[in-house]
Amino acid sequence: MTGDRSLLISMVQVNNQVVRLENGRVLPVRAIGSVSTEDVVLSNVWYVPGLHMNSVSVDQLTADHDLFVKMEGAVCLVTKNSDGSEVGRAHLRADYKYEVDSLIVQQN
């Protein structure tokens, strides 16, 4: 999910979809598209105006990109299943969310 429309390409408008935030606030999903940057290629990314951070689905990383995600203590590592090489790393913040330090995800 992202609140930054400029990250998305090939957007399709959607209706009747919402996201409930941890504070109880409900935000509408306005579109679904793809993110394609130098380091990250992801499809089915929700555009949620008002969202102040980007969110990456662990399920999408593991199922769609054949990656392995390991959360251990204050560190989260993302590795390729094929060779074990590290493609991402995150650290645990004080609010118990992992913040991505680096991530390289290419299309399979």
For the chain, the domains span 1-55, 56-108
Q: What pLDDT is attached to residue 106?
A: 84
Could you tell me the pLDDT band of residue 14, with boundaries at 50, 70 and 90?
Answer: very high
The Cα-based distances of 82 to 61, 67, 72, 89 in angstroms read 14, 8, 21, 17
> What average pLDDT score do residues 51-80 get?
94
> What average pLDDT score do residues 59-66 get?
92
Tokens of 12: 């399709």
> What average pLDDT score do residues 32-56 get?
93
